[in-house]
Structure 1
């Protein structure tokens, strides 16, 4: 896809939309007015946590934007409130196109991060690069190796929704065109490097 076509697609997204929602794991919430505030859309740690399988769990979102870059990060602590807390990359940036439901079916926690018995609390951060700037959603989770939803029960991809690799040239151009506040700068810089992820690696069979 040509860069000019990608940027044109971004410009068509509705500014009055709900940006994107994190459907699974259960989000802290979604406030349109504060979703550009990192690291978690301006929302504090939730009192309840979603139990997920550390060996692989789905991350499901619904986007109102026609195109955007998505990445997933993790904070291995009970209280995650700053950008620097989310220092573990679970999914390098991918380019998602098409408004609607999108699911990344097998996100896993690195073995080196888990406690000796494989259980711990943490927070999953999903970040989107859009024409509105960098957008954030977080889900507070409880990790184990025996609990959590399967990909088949939580993953739904909308008709026409696709994902491809995020090239360095596209990332650089998009990041420079988005309005990035001081609180978002460190997270935005993490999205610039190129990735070698291909669409098949995130299970993009359309529903």
Structure 2
């Protein structure tokens, strides 16, 4: 019986502890799993060396450890954003299905909140990610350039072509509510956990 309970605890931990990692542009600092539920993954000051990022036609890449998730991008134009109040939406929230590396378009010309951005301007983007167990955050500090092209060695490909918004995560609708989508995903994860509990407990009972 103890062996089956141990298996159950490991399975539940795998669901609850799943995270995401921003790959490109480089995040503020080294990924810290325990701090990811906090503002900018626990990094409260901008990076001293900002990354150059295209003013239009850019993308970001990230690794998801969740089978189904919601994500969005918020942006701050202040030099030293210290709270979520400094940020506005830069990309509507969207849903994806699958684990692994994903490439998400980030074209500042597509959103009315970011069309006034200018060449040479310093900004901070914050990726907001929810796999059903709460919001997670990572930030990247950027300098925009109208002539910069993302290097060819930065791969833009997706782990899966299955998604509710298209394989590139492009959203064409109005900005969605983070709360409603998070709640929907939370129900999915809860249902999966419940099924897992009954399945493992059923196997354990059959062993007696």
Q: TM-score category by the smaller chain? A: 0.5 to 0.7
Name the CA shift for 1:160/1:12 in 2 (closer, same or farther; >3 Å). farther
Report which of the two structures shows the higher radius of gyration computed on alpha carbons.
Answer: 2
Q: Indicate yes or no: 2:176 matched with 1:172.
A: no
Aligned length: 162
TM-score, normalised relative to structure 1: 0.67
**Aligned runs of 1:134-145 on 2, under 5 Å?**
134-145=135-146
8 Å contact kept, 1:41–1:137: yes
1: CA distance between counterparts of 2:17 and 2:59?
Answer: 28
TM superposition score normalised by structure 2: 0.67
Higher percent of residues as helix: 2
Change (3 A) 1:142 1:170: closer
What residue in structure 1 maps to residue 33 of structure 2? 32
CA distance in 2, matches of 1:143, 1:170: 27
User: Which blocks of at least 5 consecutive residues in structure 1 are unaligned?
Assistant: 1-10, 179-207
Deviation at 1:81, TM superposition (A): 1.9
CA RMSD of aligned residues (A): 2.9
Whichever structure has more strand as a proportion of its residues is: 1
Q: State the 1:15 CA deviation.
A: 2.2
Q: Is the 8 A contact 2:92 2:176 kept in 1?
A: no
How far 1:139 moved relative to its partner? 0.5
1:145-195 CA distance string (max 9 Å, x none): 0124168843121135534269969952634886xxxxxxxxxxxxxxxxx
Name the residue aligned to 1:7: none
Evaluate the alpha carbon distance shift between residue 170 and residue 111 of structure 1 in structure 2; reply closer, same or farther with a 3 A threshold: closer
Secondary structure of 2:15's aligned partner: coil
**Any idea what the Cα deviations from partners look like across 1:121-154, whole Å, max 9, x if unmatched?**
1111110122220010110001110124168843
1:113 counterpart residue number: 117
CA contact 1:13–1:65 (8 Å) conserved in 2: no
- SS of corresponding position for 1:33: helix
Contact residue 131 and residue 185 of structure 2 kept, 8 A: no
